[in-house]
C-alpha cells in the first residue's frame, strides 16, 4: 500500500449526534438533528457522525436528511455508524446515498472481556469478521472508518492483527477507542506508538482517537494521542455522551488554538506559525454549545472549560484587579474568540418586527418567516412582562418557539394554581389530548409545581417518574425568564423537557408537557425499532 500523506492539522470528527445523543435523556428527533448538523457545518467540523442508521427509522431518517441537506459538495463528510454486520452496513450505505462525501464507520469489539461476555466469539472469528465487513463497507463507499471497540483493554498483539486486517480490506481511517474511559495519557501514548510501530500499512491511513471521560481524562488522552501522531479526534459539543461523556470539541479546538506555538512542532511547523491547527471557526463555538445544550436539555455546568458560565468570570479581588489592568493577567483567551458577546440590552415592548429580525441576525439566527412570526409573538408577550429584553431572553424565546420540536401529543391549554401559607396547594389544568378531547382536572400536591404535575399526570395517564427538576435563571433580576428542565423516567429510558417563562409555574408545566410528549412519541414508535439491543454501539 502506498503511503497516504498525513494532514498537517487535526481532523475534527463530531459525534454529538451519535455518541452525544447517548447521554441519558438527550434523545433528539430527526428535525433537531438537522438543525444541529447545520450548525456543525457552520462551525467547520470535518466529519459529522449523523447517527446509527440501522438503529431505528428515526435515526435512518436523520442520517438521510443530513446527508442530503448538509453533506453537500464542499461541506463536511457525513458518517453513519454500523456494527460489523451486513444489515447495519447496508442501512448506513442507503442512508448516506445523498451525501457528496459519505463515510461508513464500522466496528467490532476486540477486548477479551467483550469477546467472552458480549460477542461470544473467538479471536479468529473477530479477525475474519473485521476484514470481511470493512471490505463490504468499501463496496459501497470509498471512505471507511474502522474501530476496534474497547481497544484500550485489548491484548495489543491481537489488536495489531485486527488493525492490519482492516487496513488490508480498505479502511481509510483507523480509530482507537478508549470505550470505557480507562486509560491515562501515558498509556495512550504507548498504545499509539505501539500501533505505529507494529501495524503494517498504518502510515497509509488516518489514525484517529476516541476517548471517554469516565476518569476525567478524555481531553488529556486525546492531546497525548495528537502529540504522538494521531490526526483525527472524535469529540462532542460540551463533551456530552454516554456515562461521563466524551472529549469536548471546544476543549480540543481551543487548546490547539491557544497553545499553537506548543503544538506546531508536532505538525512539522515552525513554533511561530499562525496557521490554524483545525478548520473550526472558533467564533461559532459558543452558539454551537448553547444550541446543543438547549436541544438536548442538558445544562452546561458553570465551571465547564471554554463554554461554562464562569469560564470568563472573575470573582476574586486579585483576579478582578489584574484583569481590569490587563486581560492577559488572568485570561488566556478572549471571550470573543468563541463568539461570546456582551449581554447587551437593546429591545423592549415598543420594539418592532424589523428591529427584532435585525437583532436575531446579529446574534446569528436565520429564521424562516413562519419561525420569525412565532418568535416575534412570544417576544411581545415577554416584553409586556419585562421592562427590557436581553440577548439571553431572545435566545430562550427562539429556542422555545423554533428549536423545541412540536411533538404531536398533549397540548397544555390552561393552568391555574392556588397556594399560600396555611393553604393546600391545588392546581387545575386543561389539556387537549392527541385525540382532540379537552380534559380539565385538578389535583393537590406538596407544592404548586407538584400539584401541577399531579394534575397533568392525572389527565395524560402515562406512567412516569420525575427524576430531575431544575430551574435556571436566564438573566438577572426579579423579572428574569426562568428555564425549567425536567427529566422523566419510564422503564429504563429517560425523557427530558424544557421551557422558559417569567412565570416559573408555567415554565414548569410546559417543560413537563414537553417531556411527556417525548415519552408519548416513544410509546407510539418504539415497536418499530429494527435493532432492539444496541449495547455494542457504545464506541
The pLDDT tens digits along the chain (539 residues) read 455 667 899 999 999 999 988 887 777 888 889 989 999 999 999 999 999 999 988 899 999 999 999 999 999 999 999 999 999 999 999 999 999 999 999 999 999 999 999 889 999 999 999 999 999 999 999 999 999 999 999 999 999 999 999 999 999 999 999 999 999 999 999 999 999 999 999 999 999 999 999 999 999 999 999 999 999 999 999 999 999 999 999 999 999 999 999 999 999 999 999 999 999 999 999 989 988 988 887 888 889 999 987 887 644 444 444 444 445 555 678 888 988 765 444 577 777 888 888 877 766 677 788 888 888 888 888 888 776 777 778 877 877 777 555 556 899 999 999 998 888 999 999 999 998 899 999 999 999 999 999 999 999 999 999 998 988 877 667 777 888 989 898 887 888 888 888 888 999 998 999 899 888 877 776 644 444 344 444 56
Contacts of 267 (CB under 8 A, 6+ apart): 8, 9, 277
| Residue ranges in 179-299 assigned as alpha helix (H) | 185-198, 218-227, 249-258, 260-263, 285-296
Number of domains making up the chain: 3
Whether residues 397 and 445 fall in one domain: no
Q: What is the DSSP string of 488-523?
A: EEETTEEEEEEEEESSHHHHHHHHHHHHHHHHHHHH
Cell matching residue 392 = 439571553
Last residue of a domain, one of 381, 403, 425: 403
Residue 515 lies in a domain: yes
Whether residues 438 and 510 fall in one domain: yes
Whether residues 398 and 418 fall in one domain: no
Last residue of a domain, one of 253, 285, 304: 304
Whichever domain contains 77, its CATH number is: 3.20.20.70
List, in sequence order, every residue forming a beta bridge with 430; answer none if it has no partner. Answer: 414, 440
Whether residues 242 and 298 fall in one domain: yes
Whether residues 188 and 253 fall in one domain: yes
Residue 533 lies in a domain: no
- Looking at residue 212, what is its pLDDT? 97
Last residue of a domain, one of 273, 304, 335: 304
Whether residues 91 and 147 fall in one domain: yes
Whether residues 257 and 373 fall in one domain: no
CB 515 within 8 A of CB 490: no
Residue 394 lies in a domain: yes
Whether residues 360 and 285 fall in one domain: no
The residue assigned the cell 463530531 is 14
- Looking at residue 407, what is its pLDDT? 54
Whether residues 87 and 228 fall in one domain: yes
The length of the chain, given as a count of residues: 539
Alpha-carbon span 76 to 53, nearest angstrom: 18
Whether residues 377 and 468 fall in one domain: no
Residue 519 lies in a domain: yes
Burial of 134 from C-beta contacts in 10 A (0-12 / 13-18 / 19+): buried
Residue 335 lies in a domain: no
Domain membership of residue 65 as a residue range: 11-304
Whether residues 423 and 448 fall in one domain: yes
Residue 312 lies in a domain: no
Contacts of 539 (CB under 8 A, 6+ apart): 19, 81, 107, 147, 149, 175, 177, 179, 210
Query: Helices 123-138 and 156-168: crossing angle, nearest 10°?
Result: 30
Instruction: Quote the pTM value.
Output: 0.81
Residue 387 lies in a domain: yes
Whether residues 353 and 471 fall in one domain: no
What separation in angstroms does the CA of 339 have from each of 306, 454, 455, 475, 527? 11, 42, 42, 18, 43
Residue 453 lies in a domain: yes
Amino acid at each position: 500500500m502506498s503511503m497516504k500523506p498525513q494532514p498537517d492539522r487535526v481532523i475534527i470528527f463530531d459525534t454529538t449526534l451519535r455518541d452525544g445523543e447517548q447521554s441519558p435523556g438527550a434523545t433528539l428527533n430527526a428535525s433537531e438533528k438537522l438543525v444541529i448538523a447545520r450548525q456543525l457545518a457552520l462551525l467547520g467540523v470535518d466529519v459529522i457522525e449523523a447517527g446509527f442508521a440501522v438503529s431505528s427509522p428515526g435515526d435512518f431518517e436523520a442520517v438521510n436528511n443530513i446527508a442530503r441537506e448538509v453533506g453537500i459538495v464542499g461541506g463536511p463528510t457525513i458518517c453513519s455508524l454500523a456494527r460489523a454486520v451486513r444489515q447495519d452496513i447496508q442501512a448506513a450505505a442507503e442512508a448516506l446515498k445523498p451525501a457528496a462525501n459519505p463515510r461508513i464507520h464500522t466496528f467490532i469489539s476486540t477486548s477479551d472481556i467483550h469477546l467472552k461476555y458480549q460477542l461470544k466469539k473467538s479471536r479468529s472469528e473477530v479477525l475474519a469478521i473485521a476484514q470481511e465487513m470493512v471490505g463490504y463497507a468499501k463496496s459501497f463507499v470509498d471512505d471507511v472508518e474502522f474501530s476496534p471497540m474497547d481497544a484500550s483493554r485489548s491484548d495489543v498483539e491481537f489488536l495489531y492483527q485486527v488493525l492490519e486486517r482492516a487496513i488490508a480490506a480498505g479502511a481509510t481511517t483507523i480509530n482507537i477507542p478508549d470505550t470505557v474511559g480507562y486509560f491515562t495519557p501515558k498509556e495512550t501514548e504507548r498504545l499509539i506508538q505501539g500501533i505505529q510501530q507494529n501495524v503494517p500499512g498504518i502510515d497509509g491511513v488516518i489514525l484517529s482517537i476516541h476517548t471517554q471521560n469516565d476518569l476525567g481524562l478524555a481531553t488529556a488522552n486525546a492531546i497525548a494521542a495528537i502529540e504522538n501522531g494521531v490526526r483525527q479526534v472524535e469529540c462532542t459539543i460540551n463533551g456530552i455522551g454516554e456515562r461521563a461523556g466524551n472529549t469536548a470539541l471546544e476543549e480540543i479546538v481551543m487548546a490547539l488554538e491557544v497553545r499553537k506555538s506548543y503544538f506546531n512542532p508536532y505538525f512539522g511547523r515552525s513554533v511561530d506559525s499562525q496557521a490554524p491547527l483545525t478548520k473550526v471557526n472558533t467564533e461559532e463555538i459558543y452558539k454551537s454549545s448553547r444550541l446543543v445544550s438547549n436541544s438536548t436539555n442538558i445544562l452546561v455546568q458553570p465551571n465547564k472549560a471554554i463554554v461554562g458560565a464562569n469560564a470568563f468570570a472573575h470573582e476574586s479581588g486579585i483576579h478582578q484587579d489584574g484583569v481590569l489592568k490587563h486581560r492577559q493577567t488572568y485570561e488566556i483567551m478572549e471571550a470573543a474568540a468563541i463568539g461570546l458577546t456582551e449581554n447587551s440590552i437593546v429591545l423592549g415592548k415598543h420594539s418592532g418586527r424589523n428591529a427584532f429580525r435585525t437583532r436575531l441576525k446579529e446574534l446569528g439566527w436565520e429564521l424562516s418567516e413562519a419561525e420569525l412570526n412565532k418568535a416575534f409573538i412570544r417576544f411581545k408577550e415577554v416584553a409586556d412582562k419585562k421592562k427590557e429584553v436581553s440577548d439571553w431572553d431572545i435566545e430562550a424565546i427562539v429556542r422555545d418557539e423554533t428549536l423545541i420540536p412540536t411533538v404531536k401529543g398533549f397540548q397544555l391549554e390552561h393552568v391555574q394554581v392556588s397556594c399560600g401559607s396555611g393553604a393546600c396547594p391545588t392546581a387545575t389544568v386543561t389539556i387537549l389530548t392527541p385525540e382532540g378531547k379537552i380534559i380539565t382536572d385538578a389535583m393537590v400536591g406538596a407544592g404548586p409545581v407538584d400539584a401541577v404535575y399531579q394534575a397533568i399526570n392525572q389527565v395524560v395517564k402515562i406512567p412516569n417518574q420525575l427524576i430531575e427538576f431544575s430551574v435556571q435563571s436566564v438573566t438577572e433580576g426579579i423579572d428574569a425568564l426562568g428555564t425549567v428542565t425536567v427529566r422523566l423516567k419510564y422503564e429504563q429510558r429517560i425523557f427530558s423537557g424544557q421551557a422558559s417563562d417569567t412565570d416559573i409555574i408555567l415554565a414548569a408545566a410546559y417543560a413537563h408537557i414537553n417531556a411527556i410528549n417525548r415519552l408519548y412519541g416513544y410509546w407510539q414508535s418504539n415497536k418499530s425499532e429494527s435493532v432492539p439491543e444496541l449495547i455494542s454501539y457504545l464506541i
